[in-house]
A and B are shown apart, each in its own frame.
Chain A
Amino acid sequence: MSKLRLATVWLDGCSGCHMSFLDLDERLLAVAEKADLVYSPLVDQKEFPAGVDIALVEGAVSSEDDLHKIQVVRARTRILVSLGDCAVTANVPSMRNKFPLQMSLDRAYKENVTLDPGTPTQGVPALLEKVRPIHEVVPVDVFIPGCPPSADTIFYAVSELLEGRSPDLSPRTRFGA
C-alpha cells in the first residue's frame, strides 16, 4: 500500500501546535510508517504540492499571504484539518479585530518605536483588516480545538484520519485546552 501524503501548514499562530505535533515523539515514527510528510515548516519543501491527502493547518488567516496559502492548500488537499484554536476560532490573533487595523499597526510600529517609526511595506505581506478562522475563508473537514491540542489528541486524530476514519474529538479536547 502506498503511503498517504501528509502536510502541515503554519499560518498566524505561535507554532505551539507544531511543537505539540513534535511532542508525538517516538509516535512520529508510527505516523511516518503510514504517511510521507510532503510539506511542512519542519521539512525543506518550498511549494505546497498537489495531491495532498491530509493537511494539518495551524493558525488563523491574518494576512494576504495566509489567504493565498490557505486557498492553495484547500485546492490541493483532500482532508483539511483546522489544528488548534487559532485555526478554529482565530483565538489570540483575533484580539486585534476590535481595533481598526491602522490603530494596531501604529501601536506596534510607531507609538512604541524610537528608531525609524513607520509601517513596514517591503518583504512582509499586508495584514487583512480582520483576522478570521480558517473555515470562514475555505471549507474545513476536521476541527481540532485546543491551545495547543495535546500530543495525544493530535496523534489520535491523525491516526484515525490515516485509517480513513473520522475522529470524534469533543471528548478529547475543547476551546482553550
Chain B
Amino acid sequence: MIRASTIKTLKIDDRDFSARHDETILDVARQNGIFIPKICDLKGLSPVGACRLCLVEVKGSNRLLPACSTLVEEGMEVTTTTERLQRYRRNILELLFTERNHVCSVCVSNGHCELQTLAQKLDITHVHFRYRYPNLDVDASHDRFSVDHNRCILCSRCVRVCDEIEGAHTWDFMGRGIESLVITDLAEPWGTSETCTGCGKCVHVCPTGALFEKGKSVAEMLKRREFLPYLTQMREEHS
C-alpha cells in the first residue's frame, strides 16, 4: 500500500533538506550523517524523548525540542550543535553517571556501551557532580539473563521492545523520578515471570550493561541490534 505523503523542506545547521512529513528531525539528521547524540532512541522502536540528549534549537521556538520525537515542518530551521546544547548534553550524561553505580572497568559492556562511548564523544573526562552511590540490586533469577540496576539509565528501550516488538509487556517501570526502576511483571523476580518469553530482545537493545546474558565477563557482552528495523519493516509489510 502506498501511503500519501507530503514533502517538507527544512534547514538543519544551515543545510537544505527535504523529508517526508512523518519523519523526525533525528531521522533526517541520521540519513544525512549529522551527528545528534541520543541514548533512549533506537531505530525500530517508538520515540519517547526521555533522555533529552537529542535536544536541538528550532528557530521560533523558545524551548529546546527533542529531535527524536519532533516531526519536520515546512521552513523549519534547526541547529544541532551550539555551546549551550553541548553543555546541557554533557550535564545530562554526567548526571546519568552519578545517579547509579557505573563502574566501566568491571562492566560486561565495557568497550561496547553507548553511555561510555557517548561520554567520550562529548569530551567528558570526569564528572562535575557528586556521585550518589545508591544501593541497588542485581536480579539474577532468570536462567539466561540478569538485570543489574546499578547500570540502568531508565531509557525504556527494554520496556518498549518487549511491548512493541515481542508483544509480551513483561517490562515496565516502578516508582518515580530518581527512584524509578525497571521491573518484570508486578516487580517479581525475572526468573519467575509468567509473561517473559525468554526471547532476549530486551538484553540486546539495552544501551549499557544493565541487561546482560549470564556467563559473560568484563567487556564480553556484545549486543546485536540490527534485527530491530527488519522486524518492524517485515511486520508493516505483512499487516
Point out residues on A near B: beta carbons under 8 Å. Answer: 82, 85, 88-92, 94-95, 97-99, 130, 133, 135-136, 140, 143-145, 147, 169-170, 174-176
Contacts and interface: CB of A to CB of B under 8 A. Distances in A.
B104 A147 contact: yes
Contacts of A174: 104, 116-117, 119-120
B125 A145 contact: yes
Interface of B: 97, 101-107, 110-111, 113, 116-117, 119-120, 123-127, 130-131, 133-136
Tell me the dominant secondary structure on chain B's binding face.
Answer: loop
B125 A170 contact: yes
Given A88-B126, A133-B131, A145-B126, A95 B120 contact: no
B105 A91 contact: yes
B124 A170 contact: yes
Given A133-B131, A143-B126, A176-B111, A92 B116 contact: no
B101 A170 contact: no
Contact of B127 (A89, A98, A169, A176): A89
B44 to A, nearest CB: 27
Contacts of B110: 176
Contacts of A133: 126-127, 131
A176 B107 contact: yes
The 10 closest A-B pairs by CB, nearest first: A176-B104, A147-B105, A97-B133, A174-B120, A143-B125, A175-B104, A98-B135, A143-B126, A170-B123, A176-B110
A82 B126 contact: yes
B119 A175 contact: yes
A174 B111 CA distance: 9
B103 A92 contact: yes
Contacts of B101: 94-95, 97-98
A38 B135 CA distance: 41
B136 to A, nearest CB: 7
Contacts of B134: 98
Nearest to A85: B105
B126 A95 contact: no
Contacts of A95: 101, 103
Contact of A92 (B105, B113, B120, B126): B105
Contact of A176 (B116, B123, B126, B133): B116
A146 to B, nearest CB: 9
B86 to A, nearest CB: 13
A176 B108 CA distance: 11
Given A170-B125, A174-B120, A92 B106 contact: yes
Contact of B125 (A88, A130, A147): A88
Contacts of B117: 174
Contacts of A85: 104-105
B125 A169 contact: yes
Q: Which of A82, A88, A145 has the most chain B CB atoms inside 10 A of its CB?
A: A145
B125 A144 contact: yes
A145 to B, nearest CB: 6
